[in-house]
Structure 1
Amino acid sequence: MGFSQTMDDMELTRVYIPGPLIVGAGPSGLAIAACLRKRGVPFVILEKENCLASLWRLKSYDSLKLHLPKNFCQLPHFPFPNHFPKYPSKEQFIAYLDSYAKHFSIRPMFGYEVKTAEYKATSDGYGLWRVVANRTKFVSRWVVVATGDNAAPVLPEFDGLEVFGGKVMHSSEYKNGGEFRGRKVLVVGCGNSGMEISLNLCHNGARVSLVVRDKLHILPRDILGRSSFAIAVGLLKLFPLRFVDWLLIVYSRMTLGDTSRVGIVRPKDGPLKLKGKTGKTPVLDVGSLSKIKSGQIKVVGEIQRFTSCHVEFIDGKVEEFDSVILATGYTSNVASWLKEESFSGQEQGNNTKSSWISNMKGKNGIYSIGFTGQGLFGASNDAERVAEDIGRQLNSYRKHLSSKINPYM
């Protein structure tokens, strides 16, 4: 039993893994690794970068803090230190992840970028995955996709952007506003990152304009000293979603005012309903809105096109900018390497999801962590459930293997 070998196969070093192969060493990958370790299930983690949590460590801005309280962001079986603030900073969260990996003896294989992952059925009905990274072919019964929705920057196309003479960067390259002091900067994207980068630019003396092309909800991060998220979670246990949405909007209007007066119109659907329907997260305000109201951050509309030094907007206005920061988010890259039936026929890099990836478990021993749109809190819950399921299967699989002689050759 086994795979037929091609010439390319014979040139690869072949490694059999008795447990699951985890792709990605960010928070999701660490969470599932710890849950497997607690159950005595062996695993291997492949990480394309040379560090843990590369998105946080290498591609996030310096002023970033967790958007939710630490008790909603801690990973399984290892709480945050008591002395950490309610909303830990980027540096504190990275330190926490380093301590997490050390505590559970998690040692990823760094510098291994997965090129393909393909399932092959075997005569006994179990089947195995072949995962190629670098010049190594890893063979495993299970694969856990823990790369998340933030594996690759989204770079939208704008007419004329290629001739724009100013500096253009994605938010993944932005660290702080020091280099933009005194410059006129256009931030494209009004999610939490776009809002917070605009605020940081403003604090560093830049002249900031923020593109707001869609309707969006802005909520206070805290309500009467408690997290808006925590309050919403508690209320949903007692009241219907529509009522909780109504309460959030009423309180937001009382504390933040009518945002439509500064060019930010709320959607018809409430923030929780919209999150459930589209995955769009409401902005949790940490000070950006006051700068918008004071005119220190200027709200502008949709972009028509770029010229060598100007930006033309749909409403006919034309402005000159020195720099453009694309806070346009990230996308998954799973479809580019996972050779799985529900991805067949898609273009490489397409972000279209199959149903299994949003529900943690697919067929043939494939799992996902961190794709359910519930952030770190959801990834931790996913990790516990996936580890339990794999542990149960492994016990059955070991019984099957005990009756075979050298079944992997």
Structure 2
Amino acid sequence: MTCLMELQGKMANDRHFNQDHGSRRRVWVPGPVIVGAGPSGLAAAACLMDKGVPSIVLERSNCIASLWKFKTYDRLRLHLPKKFCELPMMPFPEDYPMYPSKLQFLEYLEDYAKRFGIKPVFEQAVESAEYDDSVGLWRVMSVGLKGEEMEYVCRWLVVATGENAEAVVPEIKGMENFGGEVRHTAEYKSRSGFRGKKVLVVGCGNSGMEVSLDLCNHNAHPSLVVRDSVHILPREMLGRSTFGLSMWLLKWLPIRLVDRFLFIMSWLIFGNTANFGLNRPNAGPLELKSKTGKTPVLDVGTLAKIKSGDIKIHPSIQSVGNHSVQFVNGRVEVFDAIILATGYKSNTPYWLKENRMFSEKDGMPRKPFPQGWKGECGLYAVGFTKRGLFGSSMDAKRVSEDIEKFWKAEAKHLSMTIARSFTLQPSFFPMFSCYDLEIASSI
């Protein structure tokens, strides 16, 4: 880290750093700035606090876990057993079911934030974050709900916006001409309003499967577009969760044999899913997840409805008309509504001014798991492992341990010196002469 006098000199001489930004307020953050107050951001803040490192969490919405609260359907439950989804240092309540509901998970996150005293700065949309080489610090620019501008200056930046920050809406020929309702699953809450209607669900991941089941169970007539091959596994095998059983088997067997076991068990339980229009990939479910991040579907009852014909399967869409959809096999059907279960993507390319750690193409770390959590110049990532909450917890622990080493060695002394120097002699910091300087308190 640059020594204190060198840092002060660079700040004073750097015109770019000192240019007047009008009414923008600038805040010096002694510890890391964490962008995102979802499960990943909360886990990172809690782990840092446990190490004695203060941080500040910025969140564009008005609450924690906004994706879970506002952009998930009501029937959603955790797909994995709760022991694989708990955040560091706080298990789920014992009276919670094995697969907690959406509301239970949100309650758990609220309790988690209270337990560790995490108080995010809400309604702060980060517009840019850029490392300033001249001073060796990150500059994080945000805009509040009323347009007020803020600049947070920090030594470390933790990106915790995750893989699912923005909805993916594919381009489908003629979709703009469709006369019925079109919505992404981010806008789907329940079957309300779809009773008796023919609904086309595009996408056969866990969300598409569950939305189709929800519609089917409440007197709608869903059809499901299956564009690619997909692994469908029972949620439980031999009295244990499929995920838990797989993790246990991987301790003793190579991934190839575990995949073979999962395939045989799935075939015994479901039969040949290709008979229902659900072809399996050539690679096994765990191998595919490891290489591409594509998650197998854990069935919660949808396959039985597909077998009975209550949920129809269609191939990819060729084009869309006023109320009709033509599929690549030439078949044409009429629908009242289309629901896009086409997933989400990272939004880091829109605001993070860095292209060494994160890919500009998909906004994901360039290095594969488990190396993708750390970049250069104090940049870190939590929640980009394609391994759900389990991966977020692992990243949060690694990040906190790494930052703790620097914090104990240099950063705390530097932060206190800067704060003390400003209190005693504000003119000592000409970089702040045009700003309302604040020293951020810990969370």
Q: Distance in 1 between matches of 2:177 and 2:204?
A: 24
What SS class does the counterpart of residue 180 from structure 1 fall into?
coil
| 1:141-165 alpha-carbon deviations (Å, 9 max, x no partner) | 0000000000000000001000100
| 1:68-111 alpha-carbon deviations (Å, 9 max, x no partner) | 00000000001100000000000000000000001111000000
Does 2:389 correspond to 1:376? yes
Give the 3 Å change call, closer, same or farther, for CA 80–203 of structure 1 in structure 2: same
Equivalent AA in structure 1 for residue 140 of structure 2? V
Q: Is the 8 A contact 2:209 2:302 kept in 1?
A: yes
TM-score of the superposition, structure 2-length normalised?
0.88
1:50 Cα offset (Å): 0.2
What SS class does the counterpart of residue 378 from structure 1 fall into?
helix
What SS class does the counterpart of residue 199 from structure 2 fall into?
strand
Q: Distance in 2 between matches of 1:213 and 1:122?
A: 49
Q: Distance in 1 between matches of 2:229 and 2:246?
A: 21
1:357 Cα offset (Å): 8.5
Q: Distance in 2 between matches of 1:384 and 1:142?
A: 15
For residue 185 of structure 1, what is the aligned residue in structure 2? 199
For residue 166 of structure 2, what is the aligned residue in structure 1? 152
1:6 Cα offset (Å): 5.7
1:189-268 to 2 correspondences below 5 Å: 189-268=203-282
TM-score of the superposition, structure 1-length normalised?
0.95
Give the 3 Å change call, closer, same or farther, for CA 75–343 of structure 1 in structure 2: closer
Q: Distance in 2 between matches of 1:341 and 1:151?
A: 18
For residue 351 of structure 1, what is the aligned residue in structure 2? 362
For residue 290 of structure 1, what is the aligned residue in structure 2? 304
Equivalent AA in structure 1 for residue 326 of structure 2? E
Larger Rg: 2
Q: Distance in 2 between matches of 1:343 and 1:388?
A: 19
Equivalent position to 1:305, from 319, 336, 354 = 319
Equivalent position to 1:398, from 411, 416, 429 = 411
Does 2:67 correspond to 1:62? no
What SS class does the counterpart of residue 183 from structure 2 fall into?
strand
Equivalent AA in structure 2 for residue 47 of structure 1? E
Does 2:124 correspond to 1:112? yes
Give the 3 Å change call, closer, same or farther, for CA 8–293 of structure 1 in structure 2: farther
Equivalent residue pairs, number: 403
Does 2:380 correspond to 1:367? yes
For residue 128 of structure 1, what is the aligned residue in structure 2? 137
Equivalent AA in structure 2 for residue 72 of structure 1? F
Equivalent position to 2:26, from 14, 17, 20 = 14
Q: Is the 8 A contact 1:141 1:365 kept in 2?
A: yes
For residue 28 of structure 1, what is the aligned residue in structure 2? 40
Give the 3 Å change call, closer, same or farther, for CA 61–334 of structure 1 in structure 2: same
What SS class does the counterpart of residue 178 from structure 1 fall into?
coil
Give the 3 Å change call, closer, same or farther, for CA 102–215 of structure 1 in structure 2: same
Equivalent AA in structure 1 for residue 54 of structure 2? P
1:9 Cα offset (Å): 3.0
For residue 334 of structure 2, what is the aligned residue in structure 1? 320
Give the 3 Å change call, closer, same or farther, for CA 284–399 of structure 1 in structure 2: closer
What SS class does the counterpart of residue 129 from structure 2 fall into?
strand
What SS class does the counterpart of residue 405 from structure 2 fall into?
helix
1:54-93 to 2 correspondences below 5 Å: 54-93=66-105
Amino-acid identity (%): 53
Ranges in structure 2 where 5+ consecutive residues have no aligned partner: 1-9, 144-148, 423-427, 432-443
| 1:283-339 alpha-carbon deviations (Å, 9 max, x no partner) | 000000000000000001110000111000000000000000000000000011001
Q: Distance in 2 between matches of 1:280 and 1:197?
A: 19
Q: Is the 8 A contact 1:168 1:324 kept in 2?
A: yes
Q: Is the 8 A contact 1:131 1:139 kept in 2?
A: yes
Q: Is the 8 A contact 1:360 1:368 kept in 2?
A: yes
For residue 141 of structure 1, what is the aligned residue in structure 2? 155
Q: Let me know the Cα RMSD of the aligned residues.
A: 1.8
Equivalent AA in structure 1 for residue 366 of structure 2? S
Give the 3 Å change call, closer, same or farther, for CA 320–399 of structure 1 in structure 2: closer
Give the 3 Å change call, closer, same or farther, for CA 148–231 of structure 1 in structure 2: same
